Structure 1
Amino acid sequence: MKTSNLADLLPIYGAWTGTTEPSVLLRSGSGALLKFDPFDSEFTNSNMLISGGSGSGKSFLTNIILMQMLKENPKIFFVDIGGSYKKLCENLEGQYLPLGVSEGIAINPFDLAPGEEAVSNQKIKFLVGLIELMAKEEDVSRLPKLERAEVEEAIREVYATSKAPRLSDLQRIFLNHKDPSINRFGKILAPWCGDSLFGKFLDQQTNISLDKQVVAFDLKGMETYPELQAVCLFLITDLVWREVQKDRLTKNSYALTNAGSSSRTNRGSCLSRRFSEPSASTRRRPLRFRRTSTTSPSRGLQGRCCQTAQSSGFCFSNRWMANGSRRF
């Protein structure tokens, strides 16, 4: 047999053999054990999108991966709508946080990371994005550059004049500003300050601490307040980021599941900036999961599902494509 003909009989590709370290053991399509480490240097980042139809096993796969990673003592954070991970959280003696206007939980967005004495530029940008989220109109993607600059200047003034800044301190600066166009920000923030419905959640000192290995946030209680739910989802990224910075060498996992209703909007495009932008002070970024459903499982990550992932800034690894030779 000629060499040219023999080449036609040789396989041009084979099944993926897995990563070097067996942080997670899975079963390949051929039934063989597959080693998988989400933090392996082979990957350009540690982000994944798990996609599939209803009942196809997205939650099960997420649980399998995270449960096996527990042996490495990571910090695991879930963001969910509906309490899907409440039982898992209880079984692992974790921390389940139902967020809502009547739950008595408060998160102060002006809190700094542990050991941080001066506010960082990254924190300032986060707060500018938060105020933009609260103040801009629905049909506007971003505030004008001049207004963003004024908001940033006001936030820096808050930190310069207050030892324990809160949102109402920023509102007061806006109301006292000599420019009427900036005064309006103070009026817009009124429903978010003081003892108002939203102010009880945002304009108070933070009364929760993420001291458990497994933490689950449930946004079900905010479904009737979509504007607050979007802001809360934005705040959680900062809260988790501050927790991640406590130990820069610990592996961390951040799972966003069934929260797509908030992240599909322009507001949601800011959610991943906290974890996707490089930071000189952070050596390890958290592993981020995005679990979402598709109307047609056979189409894999095509169509609206893929567009949602891209528009919200969440990356995914081709190891998780529903169709392809590297499927588990």
Structure 2
Amino acid sequence: MGLTTLRQAIHGPKVPPLAQFLNLWSLGDGVLVGVDLSMSSAYELELDSLRLADPARADLFETQARAFLNALPADVTLQFVVQVRKGDPDAIRTFRRSNAHPDADALSRLVIEKKCEALERKFLQRRRCLLFVTSHPKDGLVPVSPIIPRFKRPMRQVTAEFDALRRKEHAALDQVVSERLHNLGLKSRKLDSQELLDLAYRHLNPAKAEGLPLSRVSPLRTLREQAAATPLREEFDHVRVGDAYYRGVSLLRLPETAHPGYAWRLLDSLWPDCDLNLTVHTLDAEKAVSSLKLKNNITRTLAFSAMSKNYEAERKHQELDELLTEIRATAQRLFRFSLSVLVRAEDPETLRDKTAAVLGSFHDFASAEGLSDDMNHFRLFLGSVPGHARLNNRQFYIQTDALSGFLPLSGSWRGSRQKKMLFETPLGELVGLDPFDDDLPAKHGLILGTTGSGKSFTTNYILSAYLAESPENHVVVIDVGGSYRKLARAFGGEYLEVELSEKFGFNPFPPRSEIAPEGEFDGDAVAYLSLLISRMCLRPGEGVTTTEKAFLETAIKAAYAAKEEVTLSDVRRELARLSGERPKAKAYADALELWTSGMYGRLFDRKGRLDLKNRLVVFDLQNLENHPDLQGVYFFVIRSVIWAKLQNRRLKKIIAIDEGWKFFNDDVGSELIENLYRTARKFNGAIFSISQSPKDFLDTKAANAIIANSYVKYVLKLAKGHELLSQFDLNENEVEAVKLLQSKPRVFSDLFVKFGGRAVVARVEPCPLDYWICTTDAKDHVTEEKVRAENPGLTETDILLKLAEGK
């Protein structure tokens, strides 16, 4: 027995250290340099859901994806990695931070904290799409050949020049990729050196949460020596790194056709923790065709020249022959690509179950076939590290059109940069929204949902989240019913059940110092007052002419000429003075008698204003149902009540109008609501119009103007009216998504969100505290009253907490 054999018998076979298998040499300026002198950079991609895109936009995206692939130079490797991870602590941390206001009240802080605690207990997943871009030395050239050394110049100078040349080549590739991603409409962010290091280090050392700071990386040692800090054990059917088990599943047989829909289904079927890896290597056309011809000849010889028929070689020959025929017939680029999924689990049994699920997903992928790649799991494990894309040997030749159908470039939109409100998706991803997102041209929104879909609950949920975010967020609700009473009680808001009483009277005319602060009248404010007077004076269906608007504005300005505070009687007198030259002015003056000395005079012909400093004010107009003229006027007079709030640009304001469509269903009402939308936009405000019927809303004269100015749409489950959603700027794929929305009373409601040009299907699944703040269910009301009766001394917050504990 030799010494080597004896040593192996005692100590086992000698296994090279993990570092020797890593293609990591150094790192700097956002570029990872490999031992083979390849250079890799990484991008994080912000994806949109192509399945919700307009079909024409989706077709254009596919065309641009092909252009992206065709623009790549030869001998470049791209690796698309979709990381699927359990939980989303970063999003929750960001939400906490962006909603942490030092002046927030106790309930607001409690709402934020309870949301976060509930989310941390739920099943959540985070999907992150990364693109690794790797360039290789041209023709395999390196600065020094081991056979013919270059002694003419100092080695330091030779290597420095080579490094500068390689970095220049890689920078050019980075520029091409960035420009093409932009043309695709994808937002991308290049990862810096620390982020690249984190990607590699955390993958190689899954149990080390602290990471490796870039400042601790020594330039005297290779990066691979410092990155591999966890023992790795390779087995036949898995790889074990620390306490984590990994197994790779490779694409063994291509699907019959390549279509983005298949890639979407494959991605949807993946659950934490796993990585989808799609590797693309661009080929030199002439060299690739020559290589294919050679392989085709070999397979033909094996298939037909042997004593026994080789069916595998025959099948391979047919595939290569078809590919060569197609290459000759088209001008498409040729690529080599591979597709695999790396599955991670904490124990072998869970790993086995997860692997079986992934294999089943491959079978659903248009008759594709996956393989649990035994004896290849180690290479597939390393394949998730930048610069290691070529390690998957199960590669296929593919052309541009087919390859574009595999690219994993569709995903759920992650939401606004500032995550002021958090929603979940049906798959458990978090979406953060900011109602005042800077990317929105206007902040106005629509909320649609039939009775029982959770419309009132969802509106309360949105408004409560908005109020909890900052004490400088104000809300005014105009309602016909009691859907917002609980919200007002919870946040200490002012709830006004308006009736025909002096208690709810006020002067609709703002002081001169507010309407003309520098001597010049605010045009929108004067126009609004003239329309308001028209609403008081005209019968339903009558419109106001341009001439009438002119003399009404003249009368209003004349009334302000000598007064700081103007009343309706002052304007009536000015109209009477104008009646000589404007006969129609007398008709207006006469009609105003009802609103000055008549039964409504005590409401609006008076000095003084409602003092509504509270940041939440709810106007409930239900008690005015028997006075429809007064109800309609009061609806629009509310703008005068909140004028001081509107003018304060420091405050963010949401004005929620629930089922208000009947108030702007004539010409004057239409102009009044359009004026309100315009004014709110000018003064940092947003109007949310809420309706249970798309048809009722669309039948109003102001519908087109409101929809055109509403860049946010929240749509819940609808019983009917789906065919009308296209008029709300939803495309056919978005309408289909609305048809599939689900809801479960007292548990969740699906919510389609159109946010500017983005769209996502979210889910409102409240924590217990949110539930008891927002519920409008009659049974819940009985339960709440019982708890209040049993605990008379508890504060409002304590009552809500007690209810939440019992849910």
TM-score scaled to structure 2, two decimals? 0.37
Unaligned runs of 5+ in 1: 295-300
Q: Percent identity, aligned pairs only?
A: 27
2:470 corresponding residue in structure 1: 72
CA distance in 2, matches of 1:92, 1:101: 27
Please show how residues 236-315 of structure 1 align to structure 2 within 5 Å: 236-245=638-647, 247-269=648-670, 270-277=672-679, 284-294=683-693, 303-308=695-700, 310-311=703-704, 313=706, 315=709
Structure 1 residue 128 corresponds to structure 2 residue 530: yes
CA distance in 2, matches of 1:287, 1:19: 17
2:403 corresponding residue in structure 1: 6
Task: Determine which of 601, 610, 614 is the counterpart of 1:212.
Answer: 614
Residue aligned with 2:504, SS: coil
* Aligned-residue offset at 1:135: 2.2
Residue aligned with 1:216, SS: strand
User: Aligned letter for 2:405?
Assistant: D
1:193 corresponding residue in structure 2: 596
Give the greater-gyration-radius structure (CA). Answer: 2
1:9-46 per-residue CA deviation (whole Å, 9 max, x = no partner) reads: 33563222111111001112322111111111222211
CA distance in 2, matches of 1:139, 1:288: 25
* Aligned-residue offset at 1:8: 2.1
Please show how residues 37-76 of structure 1 align to structure 2 within 5 Å: 37-70=434-467, 71-73=469-471, 74-76=473-475
CA gap 1:327/1:87 in 2 versus in 1, 3 angstroms: same
2:761 corresponding residue in structure 1: 327
1:234-254 per-residue CA deviation (whole Å, 9 max, x = no partner) reads: 111232233221x31221111
Alpha carbons 1:51, 1:58 under 8 Å: kept:
yes
Task: Determine which of 621, 626, 646 is the counterpart of 1:224.
Answer: 626
CA distance in 2, matches of 1:278, 1:208: 20
Task: Determine which of 549, 561, 568 is the counterpart of 1:160.
Answer: 561
Alpha carbons 1:268, 1:312 under 8 Å: kept:
no
Alpha carbons 2:488, 2:495 under 8 Å: kept:
yes
User: Aligned letter for 1:2?
Assistant: I
CA gap 1:64/1:110 in 2 versus in 1, 3 angstroms: same
CA gap 1:229/1:85 in 2 versus in 1, 3 angstroms: same
Cα RMSD, aligned residues only: 2.4
* Aligned-residue offset at 1:114: 6.7
* Aligned-residue offset at 1:287: 2.2
2:182 corresponding residue in structure 1: none
CA distance in 1, matches of 2:713, 2:706: 18
CA distance in 2, matches of 1:219, 1:182: 31
CA gap 1:150/1:244 in 2 versus in 1, 3 angstroms: closer
Alpha carbons 1:113, 1:243 under 8 Å: kept:
no
1:33-62 per-residue CA deviation (whole Å, 9 max, x = no partner) reads: 111111112222111111011021112111
CA distance in 2, matches of 1:262, 1:240: 18
User: Aligned letter for 2:591?
Assistant: I
CA distance in 1, matches of 2:481, 2:559: 36
Structure 1 residue 83 corresponds to structure 2 residue 482: yes
User: Aligned letter for 1:288?
Assistant: I
User: Aligned letter for 2:500?
Assistant: V
CA gap 1:113/1:233 in 2 versus in 1, 3 angstroms: farther
CA gap 1:264/1:23 in 2 versus in 1, 3 angstroms: same
Residue aligned with 2:460, SS: helix
Alpha carbons 2:511, 2:564 under 8 Å: kept:
no
Residue aligned with 1:100, SS: coil
CA distance in 2, matches of 1:307, 1:293: 13
* Aligned-residue offset at 1:268: 2.8
TM-score scaled to structure 1, two decimals? 0.86
1:259-280 per-residue CA deviation (whole Å, 9 max, x = no partner) reads: 222133333311241332588x
Alpha carbons 2:448, 2:690 under 8 Å: kept:
yes
CA distance in 2, matches of 1:215, 1:114: 24
Alpha carbons 2:541, 2:667 under 8 Å: kept:
no
CA gap 1:212/1:278 in 2 versus in 1, 3 angstroms: closer
CA distance in 2, matches of 1:168, 1:321: 45
CA distance in 2, matches of 1:151, 1:236: 20
CA distance in 2, matches of 1:90, 1:77: 14
1:117-150 per-residue CA deviation (whole Å, 9 max, x = no partner) reads: 554333221111112212234333223x223222
CA gap 1:25/1:233 in 2 versus in 1, 3 angstroms: same
CA distance in 1, matches of 2:532, 2:549: 11
Residue aligned with 1:15, SS: coil
User: Aligned letter for 1:261?
Assistant: K
2:572 corresponding residue in structure 1: 171
* Aligned-residue offset at 1:167: 0.6
CA distance in 2, matches of 1:175, 1:113: 22
CA distance in 1, matches of 2:634, 2:623: 11
2:333 corresponding residue in structure 1: none
User: Aligned letter for 2:424?
Assistant: R
CA gap 1:306/1:11 in 2 versus in 1, 3 angstroms: farther
1:297 corresponding residue in structure 2: none
CA distance in 2, matches of 1:38, 1:267: 29
CA distance in 1, matches of 2:605, 2:398: 78
1:316 corresponding residue in structure 2: 710
User: Aligned letter for 2:592?
Assistant: L
CA distance in 1, matches of 2:564, 2:640: 20
Structure with more helix by fraction: 2
CA gap 1:36/1:197 in 2 versus in 1, 3 angstroms: same
Unaligned runs of 5+ in 2: 1-396, 717-734, 738-758, 763-807
CA distance in 2, matches of 1:89, 1:321: 24
Alpha carbons 1:223, 1:229 under 8 Å: kept:
yes
CA distance in 1, matches of 2:529, 2:412: 46
Residue aligned with 1:61, SS: helix
User: Aligned letter for 1:230?
Assistant: G
2:635 corresponding residue in structure 1: 233
CA gap 1:60/1:233 in 2 versus in 1, 3 angstroms: same
Alpha carbons 2:506, 2:608 under 8 Å: kept:
yes
1:105 corresponding residue in structure 2: 504
Aligned length: 315
Residue aligned with 1:133, SS: helix
Q: Which moved more, 1:124-133 or 1:270-279?
A: 270-279
1:85-105 per-residue CA deviation (whole Å, 9 max, x = no partner) reads: 122212211111122213621
Residue aligned with 2:710, SS: coil
User: Aligned letter for 2:596?
Assistant: C
Residue aligned with 2:610, SS: coil
Structure with more strand by fraction: 2
Residue aligned with 2:621, SS: strand
* Aligned-residue offset at 1:162: 3.4
CA distance in 2, matches of 1:307, 1:138: 16
